[in-house]
Amino acid sequence: TQGQVITCKAAVAWEPNKPLVIEDVQVAPPQAGEVRVKVLYTALCHTDAYTWSGKDPEGLFPCVLGHEAAGIVESVGEGVTEVQPGDHVIPCYQAECRECKFCKSGKTNLCGKVRAATGVGVMMNDRKSRFSINGKPIYHFMGTSTFSQYTVVHDVSVAKIDPAAPLEKVCLLGCGVPTGLGAVWNTAKVEPGSIVAIFGLGTVGLAVAEGAKAAGASRIIGIDIDSKKFDRAKNFGVTEFINPKEHEQPIQQVIVDLTDGGVDYSFECIGNVSVMRAALECCHKGWGTSVIVGVAASGQEISTRPFQLVTGRVWKGTAFGGFKSRSQVPSLVDKYLKKEIKVDEYITHNMTLADINKAFDLMHDGDCLRVVLDM
Ligand code: NAD
Ligand code: AHE
Ligand code: ZN
């Protein structure tokens, strides 16, 4: 297949909110600096649902969504040296080129090399898509487009991992789990003994809990409007639960009262701007730090009294938990293999690509964390 167009199945989002359609798509060979990957397993993340909804200002249609996956390199373009056909890989929506201003800064995991192209659904070389249906181009998404049996990614957007790792599990290390762990370890840098509040107990929030427990937090307070989430959250390290619906006072006040002035660290893992405000305002005066992890829709804005920051609270955000993707995803895979981090526990459903619309329906069900699709 090397050098040839591959025709395979992909779930195409033709229009916002319209069911995805399994189509035969043509996937062009990788050009210079590109890698064609046979995707074996992909999970669904709420960010896919967000872009599909039409609320993502970077959402372009028709497109192939998907960004949490694992597969095997099928072929590589000219000049690609770090991976070769047969390598097991995890596509990385947050690239790492190690050459750009961002990568060299040592201050961020964001990378500037291909972001301009991945934000508009094309490849960097020729600003064109490698996906088409009978000659009509279909946009890429987040530089990954894993809802396809084959995809083309930039070489800076692919992490080579231990071939011993089960791809049907470690696909989760492409987004949700690292995001939560890294928000604690890299972005907040939670210290032993800290009091932590987590808003939203989905996959990302539970991974925050797991990270906080590993960091030695003394209290891990989980906040969710669905009390069914609480039981499971205990297994991930949550020690106390609050359902804001069961309180008359604003949730930030409830938390401040429970914690002698506020928490050391809070994490918003929902994407709701009023919860982001509460998450900041439940932090302790003088040092409390709040990390925004959730993705809020286009047009949404955050607000608080500047006095909250004047008096020492810190507002931060994180993308992919601050992990440098190509360098650190392989180590996360190794940690999983050594049973130092959970992955299996976040997978609640297994389905196939053909059932992708049902899989998206399931994501709105309270019991669902991650659905993994066998491609
Ligand atoms: P999820 O839908 O599984 O979890 C959200 C949880 O929040 C649910 O349990 C829900 O019951 C709860 N919730 C909803 N409204 C609430 C409210 N007002 N108060 C308290 N709880 C509330 O989602 P997820 O997959 O865990 O993702 C969480 C967010 O993180 C999404 O916005 C996603 O797009 C974003 N995300 C960001 C990054 C990043 O790099 N920054 C990476 C992955 C995901
Ligand atoms: N296009 C969206 C941005 C969405 C967003 O913030 N994405 C996160 C990853 S979410 C993964 O589930 C991210 O990494 N952002 C940094 C980046 O470079 O995109 C919008 O709302 O505009
Ligand atoms: Zn995601």
User: Which positions are annotated as active-site residues?
Assistant: 45-47, 67-68, 97, 100, 103, 111, 115, 175, 370
d(C-alpha 19, C-alpha 215), whole Å = 41
Neighbours of 53 (CB within 10 A): 12
Q: Tell me how many helices (H) and strands (E) the chain has.
A: 12, 17
d(C-alpha 323, C-alpha 51), whole Å = 23
Mean pLDDT per 10-residue run, the chain (375 residues)?
96 98 98 98 97 96 98 98 98 98 97 98 98 98 98 98 98 98 98 98 98 98 96 97 98 98 99 98 98 95 98 98 98 98 98 98 91 98
- The ligand 2 atom at the shortest distance from the C-alpha of residue 297 is 21
Q: Which residues of 107-142 are buried (b: 16+ CB within 10 A; e: fewer)?
A: eebbbebbbebbeebbbbbeeebbbeeeeeebbbbb
Contact 362 CB / ligand 2 (< 6 Å): no
β-pair partners for 283: 263
- The pLDDT of residue 323 is 98
319 CA distance to ligand 2 centroid (A)?
7
Ligand nearest to the CA of 322: 1
Ligand nearest to the CA of 201: 1
Angle at alpha carbon of residue 207, lines to 204 and 69, rounded to 5°: 65
- The pLDDT of residue 365 is 82
Which residue's CA lies nearest to atom 2 of ligand 1? 202
- The ligand 1 atom at the shortest distance from the C-alpha of residue 45 is 25
153 CA distance to ligand 3 centroid (A)?
17
- The pLDDT of residue 364 is 84
- State whether ipTM is beyond 0.90: yes
Q: What is the DSSP annotation of 68-125? A: EEEEEEEEE-TT--S--TT-EEEE-SS---SSSHHHHHSS-S---SSHHHHTTTS-TT
Tokens (6 digits) for 201: 């107990």
319 CA distance to ligand 3 centroid (A)?
10
- The pLDDT of residue 214 is 98
